Amino acid sequence: MAERLNTLVYKRTHTGDPDKSGIFGIQDCMGRVRHWRFDAVIGVGGKRPWRRYKDIACKINWIGINPHKRKAEDTSFRGPLVGFDCFVLLDETGPDLKKFAPNLFRYIFEDQHVRLVMSRSLPCEMQEEVQNILRWAKTLQPENLPVFLKRKFQPNVSANR
């Protein structure tokens, strides 16, 4: 990854969107934000997730790289469904963000208390931490994406990237 990917980093309150299918938006989470232009997404458990999802708190929960968007069949959805060339679902088994990316952790949880951020708006040291997370995710990704995901998310879809 020579060029830094513009990455949406957001705090999650629950698991299940995306689920193991690798489709972001199946429960309409992050609604209109899914329309935004991003090259990757990192979902991090918030400090206070919903009670039954407390084990995701402050951990890297999922990573998606190289999105492919398509309109949701459910017309009530606020944004497109998003599949990824590289998708890693960790949920509560993910590493602590504070250990993996201490500057990013401090920015999101201690200094700014933001719900979401685009990586290109971050200082260089935090952008590098985001890129390190993405490089790490690529080492976890199986080489061949399941065929059903390739068919569902072709690059020529109507929703803008």
Task: Check residue 114 and give its pLDDT.
Answer: 86
Closest CA to 26 of 90, 78, 87: 78
Tell me: the pLDDT tens digits for 34-89? 999 999 999 999 987 778 889 999 999 999 999 999 999 999 999 999 999 999 99
Residues near 46 by Cβ (< 8 Å), separated by ≥ 6?
Answer: 11, 12, 13, 57, 58, 115
Cα gap 6→26, rounded to integer Å: 23
Instruction: Give the residue extent of every domain in the chain.
Output: 7-149
Instruction: Answer positive or negative: Cα dihedral of 102, 52, 138, 27.
Output: negative
Average pLDDT for 114-123: 94
Tell me: the pLDDT tens digits for 135-152? 999 998 665 444 444 444
A 10 A CB-CB count for 43 gives 28
Residue 48 CB-density burial (10 A; 0-12 exposed, 13-18 middle, 19+ buried) = exposed
Task: Check residue 158 and give its pLDDT.
Answer: 35
pTM of the model: 0.86
